[in-house]
Structure 1
Amino acid sequence: MALHDYPIPDLDITLQEAGRVLQLTLSPDLYMQYKNALSQQREILQEAQRKLSEAGSGRENWVTEQFKSRLLSCGDALPTSTAIPTVLPQSKAWKNDTQLGRAAALVWAMAKLYSEPWLVEGDVPMERTQQSEVFAASRLPGKKQDEIKLYPDSVHAILTSRAGAFPIQILHRPSAEGPFTALSLGDIYDQIEHISNLPAAGTEQDASAICALSSQPRRDWHSVREKILKKGGPTAASLDLMESAILAVSLEDGPAPPDVASTLNAIRLGDRGWNCLRFYDKVGKRFPFKKPNRKIQRDSEEKSEPLWCGLK
């Protein structure tokens, strides 16, 4: 499908909108200063508009290119400006309205969106440049600049909890030649529930060990990652499973704050505490969670082994 060009903004429309906002926010004296400065620098603005139009001419999605360049050159774990925090409230109409139920439902919805992107498009195809690099992608730390790597054959998500980090299958291919489809909501829920009932991990299987590394400055994380890959073994294999996941899901070890404002503050990027379970190189979904007392019965051969081991 042909991608749609991101439109070059019209200078007059941009200035009209800026003037409308500034007139509402500035004092009358400051607004007049703005109007006078604008009239004096009109030619400079027109020249900047001309250069912008030339730079974007014939280039699909030039805004995405600029965004990616700045994102991948950033030395921090993840700029706060690139995150969109949302809170999924409780719903009395939801049959399984628990943390695990909401987690499973949202993960299932992400699997549907990834495997069937046309569900949200309607009759008008959407530009998919950024969408194609959201799921099954990982931001890999580089020595000078990061890179985004895609994993088109991935069928799993990563679930992190106090029990460790585990892969959970969220996609499957009904036929050898057919497309991937989302696993059923019940199958996804069963996997999340099983892991939620596991005991807390020991030191060498603690998911926070690797997740904390991904929250370091990017050049530091690059150095550690190179050592992990060079050493090989189960730790390197676990790293590959983390990075190749479609998305990351974190069951936080604590109940949600009492109000939306406090919740948004608690999940902000760069914070400590719960964030040790957040893998910053993936699209992530996070759920406050308190481990239940009940235990789930499973067949003896059905076991979940945590990914991470041997990290020092």
Structure 2
Amino acid sequence: MAEAHQAVAFSFAITHEGWDVNFDREVLDLVWQSGIRSWKKRLARLQNNIHNGVYPGHWASLWVLTSVVSALHFSEYPVPLNLPNKFLVFLPGSGIICQFIACFLSSLSIWLTVIYILRYILRLLLMYKGWIYESRAKGSDISKPTKIWLSLIKIFSAWNSPSLYSYQGSLPRLPLPKVEDTMTRFLRSVRPLLDDQNYMRMEKLADEFQKGIGKKLQRYLVLKSWWSSNYVSDWWEEYVYLRGRSPLMINSNFYGIDAILEHKTKIQAARAASAIYSFLTFRRLVERQELEPIMMQGLVPLCSWQYERIFNTTRIPGIETDKIMHWADSNHIVVYHRGRYFKVIIYKGRILKPCEIQIQIQQILDDNSEPLVGEEKLAVLTAGERTHWANARRQHFNRGVNKVSLDCIEKAAFVVTLDDIPYEFDIKHPEKLDYFGKNLLHGKGYDRWFDKSFTLCIGSNGRVGFNAEHSWADAAVMSHVWEYVITAPSHEQRYDETGNTIGTPEIIPPNPIRLKWDIQEDCQTAIEQALVLANDLINDVDLRIYVHDNYGKGFMKKCKVSPDAYLQMALQLAYYRDSGKFNLTYEASMTRLYREGRTETVRPCSIESTAWVKAMVGDTSTTEEKVNLLKTACQRHQLAYQDAMCGKGLDRHLFCLYVVSKYLEVDSPFLKEVLSEPWRLSTSQTPHGQTSRTDLKKYPNCISAGGGFGPVADDGYGVSYIIAGEDLLFFHISNKKSSKLTDCHRFAKQIEQALADMKQLHLDYVAKQ
């Protein structure tokens, strides 16, 4: 067959006439091009490593300094510390060549010293976090320390343009909080959730922990914080993600939705080709480090460490723990369509153009072959329990064609699914967007490769979305990639008037290669077992995507509060009305101001927020009192969010103390109780407009609906929201149908009512002024 022929570069045989050698020139050309590409990438990495190693300096300044030192030396002017003559003592001679070498070594010594000092000063500057706590509103006063800091940061930023990883060596380490500070924050966070008796009991447990075993556990964490780049991230990745044995689908993976107000083409192959090309160009930007790091306020860099594993990455199942495998390069993707897997080469001397990729995708769509036995639902193994998948992988995919095909999927840049159903959005029919989200969250359970860093999903009508694995990075990184992909058709012409990709193919793209499988009966049994569990999970989860277009960020700013805090208060009010009580609430905040930082938890259910909610549901408070309570609650929430960003959170510290206690085999009643409490309301804001590419004034329809995730607790809600514009919000609300306490559709109505009440509260307050 054609694909079998392409899989062999050459073959030989011995006949009675001598050697018979056959070469496949196309495959050998691909091997040659792959080698050339590999060496180019190595040279580019070397150049980037030099650039990043000396940032904020520049290696070109070394040659300038060498010229100056040489000129001074040969003109017999004194060079600082008389370095050239000191180096000449160690050189075999005193000729012109040796003197030039001595001048270069002198320049190198001075240059490295200056670079080291500059990098140390930059790190000290980035340790300052006072600017976060100061108002960013126009006309607000800025403290003198912050003004000085701003000036110095601008000076350093002006010297040299940073690449993606330029700041990595200068980012400070995540600070380790004191045990007593964490205990104080913890007790304050649980006060509104406990009655007096239980609160006194918790106070006693916290005091015993702080004065007892907590001191010993903290000493180990102090050592880890000195030794490691980040005292949290490696343990967080391992124990929260990789050691989890429950299914990734719904429980861990998350999804993202297309720019739903735009629909430039309804041709599935064209949209797939355009999206694939955008992902590949983003990968090239990452590999060449030409992507600018995300900068807060345009000045302060966020850690870019997680970008290394966006592509060519797979989570490999294990019996007790999984592992993340990342390959340096991959020149192919894998496409799933109607139960069949295809290897698609996307590089032939260069990245294939969209019009060339469309040819490949159309070939797959036109292929009428049937799936092999067991092939169609194979990916459900990645959706089921991890130990079950690990055992099946070891027994059935460690040799022969199964191993070759599995390697092809796992080493692919990413996986693409060509769905046979449309992805739809209609503001008059909200259930269509709900179905859109559910399809991206879990699909059929077997048509996404849940282990891959992400699966790009293409609807039959040309709309797109993704399903992403969570252990390799946080949602903000995937949001950055997605922002680049969905804005690409607005920034450049991708389609002609017929909806096909523009341009004329310059080469004949390599034909897609059908992957081969040999799925035996016992492996089919393992697939069916995983499918039963996957269907149970799918049938139990419900999702509602609520579109709020009555008002958005613009109105919230008029209320003079943080938009995020405003929405968190709305969720608190909605949850109290929905359940009749307050509960532990999780909001994710990032700690990427520090090296290898990931996330920290903010606890929106606070003393101040509960006071405001009680005032809203009661009849005794005046409008002015409610507004003042709301502002106080928002200010408290914003402070908690700022503290979390600056390493002053409490949950990651408690988590690490718990890990140390397990290593030491020490039982802590306090830690055991604290970490066993469920997060019945788990929330997260999807970042929007992380880069200048998302310019809503220029491209008003280039708005993503954000994304979502499954519920964390069996009787709780998962809520992801995105502030998509001045007058548009999206809430992705999930729950389990098996719980009689939760209903995402009911909760969406409570959010709608809470937002309406908050707006009316502000309008009433303004009217009385």
User: TM tier, shorter chain?
Assistant: 0.7 to 0.9
What is the match of residue 178 of structure 1? none
Q: Distance in 1 between matches of 2:342 and 2:318?
A: 25
What is the match of residue 263 of structure 1? 436
1:186 to 1:28, Cα distance in 2 relative to 1, 3 A: farther
What is the match of residue 239 of structure 1? 406
Contact 2:414–2:456 (Cα < 8 Å) also in 1 = no
Q: Distance in 2 between matches of 1:154 and 1:274?
A: 28
Which letter does structure 1 place at the counterpart of 2:380?
A
Deviation at residue 51 of structure 1 after TM alignment: 4.8
User: Which residue of the other structure, out of 406, 418, 423, is the alignment partner of 1:251?
Assistant: 418
Q: Could you say what secondary structure the match of 2:441 adopts? A: coil
Q: Distance in 2 between matches of 1:98 and 1:27?
A: 56
Contact 1:207–1:277 (Cα < 8 Å) also in 2 = no
1:91-149 per-position Cα deviation (integer Å, ceiling 9, x unaligned): 43x54355444433333232223221242416766534432233202222233332222
1:49-93 per-position Cα deviation (integer Å, ceiling 9, x unaligned): 66544332231134331133122222234275643321113343x
Deviation at residue 15 of structure 1 after TM alignment: 7.4
Which letter does structure 2 place at the counterpart of 1:245?
A
Kindly, what percent of the aligned residue pairs are identical?
20
What is the match of residue 193 of structure 1? 362
What is the match of residue 156 of structure 1? 332
What is the match of residue 392 of structure 2? 224
What is the match of residue 258 of structure 2? 88
Higher relative contact order (CA 8 A, sep 6+): 1
Gaps of 5+ in 2: 1-51, 53-167, 425-430, 463-508, 521-769
Greater mean alpha carbon deviation, residues 40-49 or residues 146-155: 40-49
Which letter does structure 1 place at the counterpart of 2:246?
D
Contact 1:141–1:218 (Cα < 8 Å) also in 2 = yes
Q: Could you say what secondary structure the match of 1:253 adopts? A: coil
Deviation at residue 268 of structure 1 after TM alignment: 2.7
1:155 to 1:10, Cα distance in 2 relative to 1, 3 A: same
Q: Determine whether 1:283 maps to 2:453.
A: yes
Greater mean alpha carbon deviation, residues 10-19 or residues 67-76: 10-19
Q: Could you say what secondary structure the match of 1:159 adopts? A: strand
User: Which residue of the other structure, out of 283, 307, 310, is the alignment partner of 2:515?
Assistant: 307
Deviation at residue 247 of structure 1 after TM alignment: 1.0
Contact 1:160–1:207 (Cα < 8 Å) also in 2 = no
1:151-204 per-position Cα deviation (integer Å, ceiling 9, x unaligned): 213111111110511122334554xxxxxxx443333333223322322x4241
Deviation at residue 207 of structure 1 after TM alignment: 4.2
What is the match of residue 127 of structure 1? 303
Contact 1:143–1:219 (Cα < 8 Å) also in 2 = yes
Q: Distance in 1 between matches of 2:365 and 2:234?
A: 40
Q: Distance in 2 between matches of 1:79 and 1:6?
A: 33
Which letter does structure 2 place at the counterpart of 1:134?
I
Q: Distance in 2 between matches of 1:242 and 1:220?
A: 19
Which letter does structure 1 place at the counterpart of 2:387?
R
Q: Distance in 1 between matches of 2:382 and 2:334?
A: 14
Q: Distance in 2 between matches of 1:79 and 1:245?
A: 20
What is the match of residue 212 of structure 1? 380
Deviation at residue 16 of structure 1 after TM alignment: 8.3
What is the match of residue 7 of structure 1? 174
Deviation at residue 267 of structure 1 after TM alignment: 3.0
What is the match of residue 484 of structure 2? none
Which letter does structure 2 place at the counterpart of 1:226?
R
Deviation at residue 282 of structure 1 after TM alignment: 0.7
Q: Distance in 2 between matches of 1:152 and 1:122?
A: 23
User: Which residue of the other structure, out of 138, 147, 150, is the alignment partner of 2:314?
Assistant: 138
What is the match of residue 295 of structure 1? none
Gaps of 5+ in 1: 175-181, 293-300
Q: Determine whether 1:202 maps to 2:375.
A: no
Deviation at residue 18 of structure 1 after TM alignment: 6.5
Which letter does structure 2 place at the counterpart of 1:246?
A
Report the aligned-residue RMSD.
3.9
Which letter does structure 2 place at the counterpart of 1:217?
E
1:213-239 per-position Cα deviation (integer Å, ceiling 9, x unaligned): 22232232223222334441x332111
Q: Distance in 2 between matches of 1:197 and 1:206?
A: 22
Contact 1:104–1:188 (Cα < 8 Å) also in 2 = yes
Q: Distance in 1 between matches of 2:181 and 2:355?
A: 50
Tell me how many residue pairs correspond in the alignment.
292
Q: Could you say what secondary structure the match of 2:394 adopts? A: helix
Q: TM-score w.r.t. structure 2 length?
A: 0.33
Contact 1:141–1:222 (Cα < 8 Å) also in 2 = yes
1:306 to 1:60, Cα distance in 2 relative to 1, 3 A: same
Greater mean alpha carbon deviation, residues 161-170 or residues 43-52: 43-52
Greater mean alpha carbon deviation, residues 69-78 or residues 118-127: 118-127
Greater mean alpha carbon deviation, residues 149-158 or residues 56-65: 56-65
Contact 1:136–1:150 (Cα < 8 Å) also in 2 = yes
Which letter does structure 2 place at the counterpart of 1:279?
W
Bigger Rg, which one: 2
Deviation at residue 37 of structure 1 after TM alignment: 6.5
Deviation at residue 250 of structure 1 after TM alignment: 1.3
* Structure with greater helix share of residues: 2
Which letter does structure 2 place at the counterpart of 1:283?
S
Contact 2:330–2:411 (Cα < 8 Å) also in 1 = yes
Q: Distance in 2 between matches of 1:170 and 1:307?
A: 16
What is the match of residue 114 of structure 2? none
